[in-house]
Structure 1
Amino acid sequence: MEESTTRSSDGAPVPVRSTGTGPGVVVLHGGGVGQREYQRLAAALAPRCTVHLYDRRGRPGSAPLDGTETLATDLADLAAVLAHTGARRLLGHSGGGFLALQAGLVLPLDRIAVYDPGLHVDGQPSFAFLEPFEEAVRRGQHARAMTVMARAVHPQELGARLPYPLAELMTRAFLRTSVGRRFVELLPTVPPEVRRIVEHGGPASDYAGIDAEVLLVAGGRSADYFAAHCAALADAVPRARAVVLPGASHNAANVARPAFVQPFADFLAAPVDAVTG
């Protein structure tokens, strides 16, 4: 990958990693992870798109968190990456999907694709877990924090159906893996990013001002509210359509199997004036 650095409006450095050929696409990672977890996706898209990855604040190599970050901070960083790369297309996953859709309201974009976007539409899903989660993060109770959040955000998963003590044991085992250790390192970035999603919750019509073409994709094995949100936004946004990928879980974007990548590559690589149906 080619590495470069741009600067946000406040002077903060934003390292960018780029690969591939074709229309420029900026990938926006989900919460609790960074661009590293999307390198398989970037490699799979690279034959048809020039893919740009960057880490949001609080990740190693990016600007540290100082507690003043807002949605405007995230959008300024993204705007700097778009200007630096010349890209006008986004692919956002989970919390990155929220940022991608918010960007569609204020930044010049041609196409936006999202997978399981992390939204708060018409009060769903419930974010009642947020305060206990924040408290556990403050206390350094990593297994508790991750268990509380996972049981609320992914109610279809085994950990949400088990008694809480067993679910936390599963989390502790996960924390011993390399991915789990990286997640713990980035755990402090999650509460403020989730807070921003809650603060900008509302009806799907809040996104009606997006001019770009939008592909809203939900996983068939993800929580039901992802598909419901995608369908609601498809009705509200003028040039949007919703798709459910059978058999795909919330982490399918990180695994990036060919059947998952194909609809995103088709949408993001197509000419802007193509009919997308």
Structure 2
Amino acid sequence: MSKEQKYTKGFVTSKDGTTIGYRQMGSGPGLILLHGGISSSQYFMKLGAALSDEFTVYIPDRRGRGLSGAFGDNYGLQREVEDLDAILKKTDAHYLFGGSSGGLIALQASITLSSIKKIVTYEPLVYVNKSEMDKFNEIVQRFEKQLAEGDVITAMITAMDVNSEVDPDQKSPLANHLPSIILKPIFSHVLASDEKNIKGDDVTLKDLMPTLKYDIQLVNETEGKLQKFKKVQSEILLLNGSKSPLFLKNSTEALNKVLPHTTHKELPGLNHDSAQNYGKPEIIAKEIKHFLE
């Protein structure tokens, strides 16, 4: 994170008593950014900075990460909606951006929370295709087993190649050309460098990896419930990247068919990680600004 990306911190208490912390920057109408899996508020700092000239930006650490409390009992979409509701009430924000599972939470919240006026989502994943989700869940189970056994590096390789196993056309260039004996020292260096350079309220990648199962739990919760998204009240901008896996595009297309107040746009050259610091957040910020105007 660059030094110029200054922020203050705020905290709310969710319905079940869990503390939810967030980073705040900028001025103007309130806009909440919800991160996805294996992520936290730190990964949306460049996106937040690009939006902070027009909005007061709030970037929560979703529960189980960073500034926020533990996942707690009975975790699921309802808990995430309650967390978001607490932030909405404190900040009086009416706009949301959600990436991946963060987008799913934003859509779910809009079914019951009328204070949300507009939502921009980037590749929200819902349960659409059983075959794809069976593969996805099998990979996550393997990933979790590797973490439990302390084999963090192998788990990283598994997570990196999840897209290609669900969608064979999306084979990672690294996984396609480099054997495990070379990949392992590369990822070992990545973890060591990440831990060495962590600062302030940031969370290490190693500590974020175990949170993946909770995000997949949210997706699995939508099995057979796609039609419920017809009740979403907000205006929606549904974004996806042209270089993202087919199963994510299938999710976007399925949502586009049921959401009642939706504009859909595919962004050329972008992939699933493009909203994050290491992607192309300035392109997504431009789309957010245009829609919220």
Same fold (TM over 0.5): yes
The answer to whether the aligner puts 1:14 opposite 2:20 as a matched pair is yes
- State the identity as a percent: 27
Matched position secondary structure for 1:119? coil
CA RMSD of aligned residues (A): 2.3
Matched position secondary structure for 1:208? helix
Cα deviation code 1:198-256 (max 9, x no counterpart): 23233643311111111111112221222232222112111112111111122211134
Show the counterpart of 2:193: 177
The answer to whether the aligner puts 1:55 opposite 2:70 as a matched pair is no
Q: 128, 142, 146: which is aligned to 1:121? A: 128
Matched position secondary structure for 1:176? helix
After the TM superposition, list the runs of 4 or more consecutive aligned residues in structure 1 that deviate by more than 6 angstroms: none
The Cα shift of 1:162 comes to 4.4
Residues 68/232 of structure 1: CA separation in 2 closer, same or farther (3 Å cut): closer
TM-score when scaled to structure 2?
0.83
Residues 153/67 of structure 1: CA separation in 2 closer, same or farther (3 Å cut): farther
Show the counterpart of 2:3: none
Q: Is the 8 A contact 1:92 1:98 kept in 2?
A: yes
The answer to whether the aligner puts 1:264 opposite 2:288 as a matched pair is yes
The Cα shift of 1:67 comes to 5.4
Matched position secondary structure for 2:57? strand
The answer to whether the aligner puts 1:208 opposite 2:243 as a matched pair is no
Show the counterpart of 2:83: 77
Aligned pairs for 1:1-277 (under 5 A) are: 1-66=7-72, 68-108=74-114, 109-123=116-130, 124-125=132-133, 126-127=135-136, 128-153=138-163, 155-162=170-177, 165=180, 168-169=183-184, 170-178=186-194, 182-202=204-224, 204-255=226-277, 256-268=280-292, 270=293
Following the alignment from structure 2 to structure 1, what is the Cα–Cα distance between the partners of residues 215 and 284?
A: 26
Q: Which runs of 5+ in 1 are unaligned?
A: 271-277
Following the alignment from structure 2 to structure 1, what is the Cα–Cα distance between the partners of residues 205 and 224?
A: 29
Amino acid at match of 1:114: T
Residues 223/160 of structure 1: CA separation in 2 closer, same or farther (3 Å cut): farther
Matched position secondary structure for 1:58? coil
